[in-house]
């Protein structure tokens, strides 16, 4: 049976193209600003172009949420052939996107929009969208998605904290690396908080800590390995997980432009939805 | 000049003026960033103002409203939603005051425009807890006054009022150093004030374009910008935490909330509407602020930044960091360290007390005891970081009421690994297990000169030879630092390691340092090399291999 409602998310969900088509999910882009030039994440600029430009740019880009008006436009269009929608977005602690969606929705009369603050970022948001898309009614989808929000986890391993820090999302002190030594912080996004779970000096140690932490959180409903220009390492991690968890789907995904602005290149993520 | 006289500020004109401001601020915001020294020299005032203005204009862009009141309202709401940083929030209040003043009006006469500028400044003053003169506030007020003066002349026109406001702003910006000591010391004008001047100038440029007859009247000059960011002394007690968020609720009373927040910090800004209030405060206790505000409604866009860290980063003399944070496990760390750079590194990693000493200047038991007593926790991990210090360190354990955990680190690299592994939320037993495991994993290479002829571990050395020790055992002798290090790394087996951290000693020259670095890189391309200024004596190089 065809779903009567629409599923909407934003570009920071890192929704794989294939899922987008298979589940019919609408993606509203955030924006990346290089100086005065604005690009819609994943629309005017793809990941490769973004990181190429990031490497060449002398000033760091900034990012911005879609405006309430942009959301309103999307909802108005969807209202033509849907009786409502669930709009699942990047955590409000990280971005004004969910707020913009809410304000945008309030300006569209007669169309029910359930805005969900996912409290997280990247593919866990896509997991929630996938969960929603499996249901036939908006009520059932919402009832399935909301209790899963506290179960989203993002383990992030950044090659440098510079980008996150410049974007104002986390200070060196908060990441426990208030020092001149080049430390690799392992960060966890859970329950609307970013917190450091470990700090180590080398990347391979950090990767094994990340995998160990993940294993301590099993069982999981969905999982993925995310990367920004670190495909080989991401595939290695995914292969190891597939060996440890036979028969389970381990997706490898790419971090988009807006997220990449805050993670910088060579970031790795192990993201999942706890059972 | 009949045509000019009839020009009023309606919706489309105000919209164009705002877009013009955005363009002009956008073109110059880096200059604003460079001027930023107050209240925290984080160099982002221009960016914050630009983003706030962008947000103000976001909805305006999509509007075709004929009435100035509608455009002003959109700008007010947009800027509140997107307000970033101190200046951004004040800018949002300027828009808010302006919107209030023009409520219900479809077009503004020159006098009404001037009155709106004045009300905008007043609103901004009201929004700020303790208004500081010599900032964007002063500039807004002077711009309003100059606009009013221009409006009171018989041949007043809208362009003249805006030109008056821009000129008033420019003059006020130039005077800011005489009002604010910190600007005077830095030799700069106020960044936020300059940003506001740019916004008014951008409006003026737009108006000039709409009215070519007027263009000759006003010439917008950019001020000469004196040199950039400067070092500021860290105030006593640090800068605290810059805490910002929005409260979403119903019937929010900004006055009441402001009063309560003021008790918890300074640079307080509490502004907004009954449904949405923006809070900005510099506080030592962000948790209390958040708990208080959480009682009023849902908190959005929460952002807490450690300004001391931001500040130090700007000055490129980092430190503190974790040390400033609360330790949930109640465990402190004391470490024996010599060398300025190494002391900074250990402090930066969160060590509470440093005992100066090392190879040739072994600290006494009393030195260590004093340091341990100075740590503000009852449980202390003690890191001797040198084999010769361990014996004295063992004595300390029984001499204090505090619970002292001696972790027998034999070298600086072991000490660094130990501190890196420390986690403030882990209980002692777990921490000690992790710390000891990490300290044992790291390999230490120390490079120094033989002080006499000797034979040790099968290696014959003469006085003055360069010698290389692996984990305190003499392994190589030679006459060149790079050569000895190359051999030592070869013996360790570089394939098993990823990272070499070189702590450069006091006596190592630049040439020796760069030779060592390039030799490691070229012989062991699989290893990452990080150089740190250790500043230790007697050991030109200490290397950590992990």
Residues A144 and A155 grouped into a single domain: no
Residues 6+ apart with CB under 8 A from A223: A214, A241, A248, A249, A250, A251, A270, A271, A272, A273
Q: Residue B6 — very low, low, confident or very high, per pLDDT cuts 50/70/90?
A: low
A-B C-beta contacts closer than 8 Å: 97
Same domain, B103 and B123: yes
Number of independent structural domains in chain B: 4
pLDDT at B152: 93
Answer yes or no: do B14 and B52 share one domain: yes
pLDDT band of B308, cuts 50, 70, 90: low
- What confidence score (pLDDT) does residue B325 get? 45
B459 confidence band (pLDDT: 50, 70, 90): confident
- Asked if residue A177 and residue A60 are part of one domain, the reply reads no
Residue A39 · residue A45 · CB < 8 Å: yes
Residues A165 and A265 in one domain: yes
Whether residues B325 and A173 touch (CB distance < 8 A) is answered with yes
- Distance to chain B for A213, nearest Cα, Å: 15
Residue A17 shares a structural domain with residue A144: yes
Residue A1 lies in a domain: no
Q: Pairing relation of β-strands B276-283 and A31-34?
A: unpaired
Same domain for A142 and A13, yes or no, is: yes
B248 and B269 belong to one structural domain: yes
CATH number assigned to the domain comprising residue B406: 3.40.50.510
Considering the domain architecture, whether residues A107 and A65 belong to the same structural domain is answered as: yes
More confident residue, B135 or A67: B135
- Between residues B87 and A23, which one has the greater pLDDT? A23
The answer to whether residues B334 and B325 touch, using CB atoms and an 8 Å cutoff, is no
Higher pLDDT, B234 or B371: B371
Any idea what the CATH number is for the domain that residue B71 is in? 1.25.40.340
Q: Please report, in angstroms and rounded to a whole number, the separation of the first and last CA atoms in chain B.
A: 79
Q: Is residue B320 scored above 50 in pLDDT?
A: no
In this prediction the ipTM stands at 0.73
Instruction: Measure in Å the smallest separation between the Cα of B204 and chain A Cα atoms.
Output: 21
Give the structural domain span for B153.
Answer: 2-215
Q: What average pLDDT does this structure show over A239-256?
A: 95
| Of A148, A180, A196, the domain-final residue | A148
Percent of chain A with pLDDT over 70: 95
Answer yes or no: is pLDDT of A228 > 90.
yes
Q: In this structure, what CATH number is given to the domain that contains residue A269?
A: 3.30.1180.10
CATH of the domain at A123: 3.40.50.10170
B188 with B58, same domain?
A: yes
* Mean pLDDT within B167-177: 92
Instruction: Pick from A139-148, A186-195, B131-140, B270-279 the range whose average pLDDT is largest.
Output: A139-148
Task: Determine the residue among B81, B308, B439 to mutate to test chain A binding: the one whose Cβ has the most chain A Cβ atoms within 10 Å.
Answer: B81
- From A147's Cα to the closest Cα of chain B, the distance in A is 19
How many residues in chain B? Answer: 546
Quick one: B305 and B373 in the same domain?
Answer: no
CB contact under 8 A, B321 and A92: no
Cα of B371 vs its chain's centroid, Å? 30
Domain count for chain A, please give it: 2
A204 pLDDT above the threshold of 60:
yes
Task: Tell me, yes or no, whether A125 and A166 share the same domain.
Answer: no
In a domain, residue B233? The reply is no
* pLDDT at residue B253 tops 50: yes
Are B72 and B174 within one domain? yes
Asked if the model's pLDDT at residue B267 lies above 80, the reply is: no
For residue range B196-230, what is the model confidence (pLDDT) as tens digits? 999 999 999 888 877 655 544 444 333 334 333 33
Q: Which of B197, B215, B233 is the last residue of a domain?
A: B215
Asked if residue A93 belongs to a domain, the reply is yes
pLDDT for position A83: 93
Pair A186, A200: CB distance under 8 Å: yes
Using the Cβ of B63 and the Cβ atoms of chain A, whether some distance falls under 8 Å is answered with no
Which residues of chain A are within 8 Å of residue B58 when distances are taken between CB atoms? Answer: 67, 69
Q: Output the domain CATH number for residue B531.
A: 3.30.1180
Test B424 with A176 for CB contact under 8 angstroms: yes
pLDDT value at residue B419 = 93
pLDDT of residue B433: 95
Are A210 and A105 part of one and the same domain? no
Say yes or no: A19 and A73 in one domain.
yes
Among residues B291, B315, B339, the one where a domain terminates is B315
Contact B381, B407 (CB under 8 A): yes
Q: Are residues A182 and A251 in the same domain?
A: yes
Contacts 24+ apart (CB under 8 A), B474-481: B477/B450, B481/B447, B481/B508, B481/B512, B481/B515, B481/B516, B481/B540, B481/B541
With a CB cutoff of 8 Å and minimum separation 6, the contacts of B27 are: none
Which of B441, B462, B491 is where one domain is finished? B441
Looking at the fold, whether A247 and A132 belong to one and the same domain comes out as no
Least CB–CB distance from B345: residue in A69, A180, A203:
A180
Answer yes or no: do A253 and A155 share one domain: yes
Domain that holds residue A128: 6-148
Q: What per-residue confidence (pLDDT) applies to B3? A: 42
What pLDDT, in 10s, does the model give residues B503-524? 999 999 999 999 999 999 999 9
Chain B residues inside the 8 Å CB shell of A171:
305-306, 309-310
B37 and B156 fall within a common domain? yes
Task: Quote the pLDDT of residue B109.
Answer: 94
Residues of B in contact with A182 (CB under 8 A): 530
> For position B18, what pLDDT does the model report?
96
Say if residues B408 and A192 touch (Cβ distance below 8 Å). no
User: Which residues of chain A are within 8 Å of residue B501 when distances are taken between CB atoms?
Assistant: 181, 201
Confidence of residue A66 (pLDDT cuts 50, 70, 90): confident
Is residue B59 in some structural domain? yes
| Residue that finishes a domain, picked among A89, A119, A148 | A148
Q: Are residues B390 and B255 in the same domain?
A: no
Q: Which has more pLDDT, B366 or B233?
A: B366
Say yes or no for a CB contact (<8 Å) between A179 and B345.
yes
Residue numbers in B near A69 (CB within 8 A):
58-59, 62
| Mean pLDDT computed over every residue of chain B | 83
Phi, psi of B400 (to 5 degrees): -130, 155
Single out the residue in A131, A148, A165 at which a domain terminates.
A148
Looking at residues B376-403, what average pLDDT do you find?
A: 88
Q: What is the pLDDT of residues A79-100, one digit of tens each?
A: 999 999 999 999 988 887 888 8
User: pLDDT confidence of B393, banded at 50, 70, 90?
Assistant: confident
């Amino acid at each position: 049976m065809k779903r009567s409602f629409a599923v909407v998310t934003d570009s920071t969900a890192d929704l794989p193209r294939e899922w987008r088509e298979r589940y019919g999910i609408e993606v509203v882009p955030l924006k990346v600003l290089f100086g005065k030039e604005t690009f819609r994440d994943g629309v005017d600029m793809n990941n490769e172009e973004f990181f190429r430009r990031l490497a060449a740019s002398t000033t760091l880009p900034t990012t911005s949420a879609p405006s309430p008006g942009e959301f309103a436009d999307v909802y108005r269009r969807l209202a033509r052939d849907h009786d409502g929608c669930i709009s699942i977005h990047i955590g409000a602690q990280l971005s004004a996107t969910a707020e913009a969606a809410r304000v945008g929705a309030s300006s569209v009369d007669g169309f029910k929009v359930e805005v969900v603050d996912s409290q997280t970022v990247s593919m866990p948001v896509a997991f929630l969208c996938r969960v929603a898309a499996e249901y036939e009614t908006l009520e059932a989808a919402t009832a399935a998605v909301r209790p899963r929000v506290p179960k989203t986890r993002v383990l992030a391993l950044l090659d440098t904290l510079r980008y996150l820090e410049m974007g104002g999302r986390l200070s060196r002190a908060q990441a426990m690396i208030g020092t001149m030594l080049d430390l690799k912080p392992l960060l966890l996004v859970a329950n609307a908080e970013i917190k450091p779970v470990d700090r180590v000096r080398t990347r391979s140690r950090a990767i094994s800590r990340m995998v160990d932490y993940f294993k301590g959180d099993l069982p999981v409903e969905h999982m993925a390995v995310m990367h920004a220009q670190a495909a080989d390492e991401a595939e290695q991690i995914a292969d190891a997980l597939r060996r440890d968890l036979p028969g389970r789907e381990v997706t490898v995904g790419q971090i988009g432009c807006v997220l990449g602005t805050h993670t910088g290149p060579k970031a790795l993520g192990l993201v999942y939805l706890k059972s | 000049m009949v045509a000019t006289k009839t020009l009023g500020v309606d919706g489309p004109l105000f919209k164009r003026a705002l877009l013009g401001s955005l363009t002009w601020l956008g073109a110059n915001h880096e200059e604003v960033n460079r001027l930023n020294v107050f209240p925290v020299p984080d160099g982002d005032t221009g960016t914050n103002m630009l983003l706030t203005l962008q947000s103000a204009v976001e909805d305006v862009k999509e509007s075709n409203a004929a009435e100035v009141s509608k455009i002003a309202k959109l700008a007010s709401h947009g800027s509140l939603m997107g307000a970033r940083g101190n200046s951004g929030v004040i800018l949002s209040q300027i828009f808010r005051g302006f919107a209030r003043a023009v409520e219900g009006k479809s077009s503004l006469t020159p006098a009404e425009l001037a009155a709106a500028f004045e009300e905008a400044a007043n609103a901004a003053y009201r929004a700020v807890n303790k208004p500081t003169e010599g900032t964007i506030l002063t500039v807004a007020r002077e711009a309003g006054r100059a606009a009013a003066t221009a409006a009171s002349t018989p041949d007043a026109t809208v362009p003249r009022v805006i030109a008056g406001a821009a000129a008033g702003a420019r003059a006020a910006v130039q005077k800011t150093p005489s009002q604010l000591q910190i600007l005077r010391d830095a030799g700069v004008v106020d960044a936020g004030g300059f940003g506001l001047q740019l916004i008014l100038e951008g409006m003026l440029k737009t108006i000039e374009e709409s009215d070519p007859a007027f263009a000759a009247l006003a010439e917008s000059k950019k001020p000469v910008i004196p040199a950039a960011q400067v070092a500021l002394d860290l105030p006593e007690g640090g800068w605290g935490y810059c805490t910002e968020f929005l409260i979403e609720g119903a019937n929010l009373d900004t006055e009441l909330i402001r009063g309560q927040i003021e008790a918890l910090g300074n640079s307080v800004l509490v502004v907004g509407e009954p449904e949405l209030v923006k809070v900005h405060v510099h506080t030592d206790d962000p948790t209390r602020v958040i708990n208080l505000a959480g009682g009023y409604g849902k908190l959005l866009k929460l952002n807490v930044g450690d300004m001391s860290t931001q500040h130090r980063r700007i000055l490129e003399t980092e430190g503190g960091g974790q040390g400033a944070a609360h330790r949930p496990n109640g465990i402190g760390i004391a470490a024996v360290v010599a060398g300025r750079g190494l002391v900074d590194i250990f402090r930066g990693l969160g060590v509470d007390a440093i005992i100066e000493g090392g190879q040739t200047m072994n600290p006494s038991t009393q030195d260590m005891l004093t340091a341990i007593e100075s740590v503000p926790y009852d449980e202390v991990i003690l890191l001797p970081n040198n084999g010769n210090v361990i014996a004295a360190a063992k004595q300390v354990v029984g001499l204090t009421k505090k619970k002292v955990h001696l972790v027998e680190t034999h070298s600086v690299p072991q000490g660094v690994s130990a501190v890196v592994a420390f986690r403030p939320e882990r209980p002692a037993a777990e921490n000690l297990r992790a710390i000891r495991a990490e300290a044992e994993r790291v390999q230490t290479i120390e490079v120094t000169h033989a002080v006499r002829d000797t034979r040790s571990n099968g290696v014959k050395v003469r006085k003055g030879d360069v010698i290389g020790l692996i984990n305190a055992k003499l392994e190589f002798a030679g006459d060149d630092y790079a050569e000895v290090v190359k051999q030592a790394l070869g013996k360790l087996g570089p394939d098993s390691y990823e990272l070499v951290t070189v702590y450069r000693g006091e006596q190592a020259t630049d040439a020796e340092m760069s030779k060592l670095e390039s030799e490691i890189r070229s012989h062991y391309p699989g290893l990452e090399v990080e150089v740190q200024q250790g500043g230790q004596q007697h050991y030109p190089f200490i290397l950590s291999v992990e």
